[in-house]
Copies of this chain bind each other. A is one copy, B any other.
């Protein structure tokens, strides 16, 4: 954990180190991933089954790649009713938020009489990658699948590895609740390859979303262009801006909720009160003695945790904008005033009773958010990821007469004669028509 004060002489250097440490660090898995993708592309199902045997120790055939409806119903029956209720609270709120996101088509007629605009159209098919083992989070299934369903995507295929056959029943229940249409027990780069290129059993999709390990991330990067992908997810992070009126233990828990994700997760407190900062640091240490995931959270806190002491809350927001956090908590009296100054953050949580953990599950906005400072240019998952736009332009002879000549001039300047002719031939035809007497 680094404790920095903006009044320290070496603050700028130390803060720059903090920033660069948060950039994406790629693992060198180019070659093995390329080999796996080539093998899927060449041998389809047989490669997929062989790789699943090899990496997940699971014997599988093309016939058993997909989970059957009975398996899914059985999984659902294993889940406690209160958990299914909680899943439903989450699903309903996520649905409501993403419905509110749906954009409207645009259309207008301009001064030369052209009608132009754009239509939003859902993707035909989407692939959802869900990590297996401990990282199999049912909440992520909801967050990835529901926006696609709300956007109107017809087909939603999901791949989840089941190491040695182990599956989290709540993941299947979440997939069913979210409207996933096909679920396959495969993972890794081979699952990404199967969804991108298709096999005899798994039809190809148009876009692949969902988190995964370094192999999955690299596979998504390599199939990008052939299909769409979401952002490459790095370690999760939070910046908590808090004044001294918050309970130090509560703020410590917010930081640890981030740190417990994995050893690379990044939790940062920014506060104008040095005494409060120390109280939070002490509370973190105290909680690290009792938390079940203390070894993970402790490793994260020690290596990437940061406490920044600032002159005032405005300086706090300015630093947060530099950090471009995935999650930003504003635990202050007037969070809206601070939020108005925020330029770079995936998602913001406003007010002392609105911690990030609420947003991770039941807030409504998506919890798949830009990591590794990519909030500078990227956004959280949304219905926009599952829609695309077709623009259109419609015009008759009069509009062509007015704006055609400018296009002809530019086409000639670019040396594209056929471009110019495709317009001027139409203008010539109009001129010839006009020159012909009506009764001629």
Residues in chain A within 8 A of chain B (CB atoms): 23-24, 26, 30, 82-83, 85-87, 89-90, 93, 96-97, 100-101, 103, 106, 108, 110, 114-118, 121, 123-124, 134, 137-139, 170, 206-207, 221, 224-228, 231-232, 234, 247, 249-250, 253-254, 256-257, 259-261, 287, 291-293, 297, 335-336, 339, 342-366, 370, 372, 374-380, 382, 384, 388-397, 399-400, 403-407, 409-411, 413-423, 425-426, 429-430
- A293/B366 contact (C-beta < 8 A), A349-B393, A355-B423 known: no
The complex is assembled from copies of this chain, and their number is 2
User: Which residues of B sit under 8 angstroms from A292, Cβ to Cβ?
Assistant: 415, 417
User: Which residues of B sit under 8 angstroms from A250, Cβ to Cβ?
Assistant: 422, 425-426, 429
- What distance in Å separates the Cβ of A372 from its nearest Cβ neighbour in chain B? 7
In contact, A355 and B426 (Cβ under 8 angstroms): yes
- A348/B390 contact (C-beta < 8 A), A103-B103, A250-B425 known: yes
In contact, B357 and A406 (Cβ under 8 angstroms): no
- What distance in Å separates the Cβ of A311 from its nearest Cβ neighbour in chain B? 23
User: Which residues of B sit under 8 angstroms from A352, Cβ to Cβ?
Assistant: 426
In contact, A392 and B256 (Cβ under 8 angstroms): no
User: Which residues of B sit under 8 angstroms from A355, Cβ to Cβ?
Assistant: 422-423, 426
- What distance in Å separates the Cβ of A423 from its nearest Cβ neighbour in chain B? 5
- A397/B293 contact (C-beta < 8 A), A253-B421, A365-B118, A407-B358 known: no
User: Which residues of B sit under 8 angstroms from A100, Cβ to Cβ?
Assistant: 106, 108, 117
In contact, A425 and B249 (Cβ under 8 angstroms): yes
- What distance in Å separates the Cβ of A353 from its nearest Cβ neighbour in chain B? 5
User: Which residues of B sit under 8 angstroms from A90, Cβ to Cβ?
Assistant: 406-407, 410
In contact, B410 and A359 (Cβ under 8 angstroms): no
Question: Could you jot down 5 A-B contacts, CB within 8 Å?
Answer: A103-B103, A206-B377, A348-B390, A353-B430, A360-B411
Instruction: Using CB atoms, name the residue of chain B closest to A23.
Output: B226
Q: Per a CB cutoff under 8 Å, which of B259, B364, B423 touches A357?
A: B423
- What distance in Å separates the Cβ of A321 from its nearest Cβ neighbour in chain B? 9
- A418/B353 contact (C-beta < 8 A), A359-B393, A372-B225 known: no
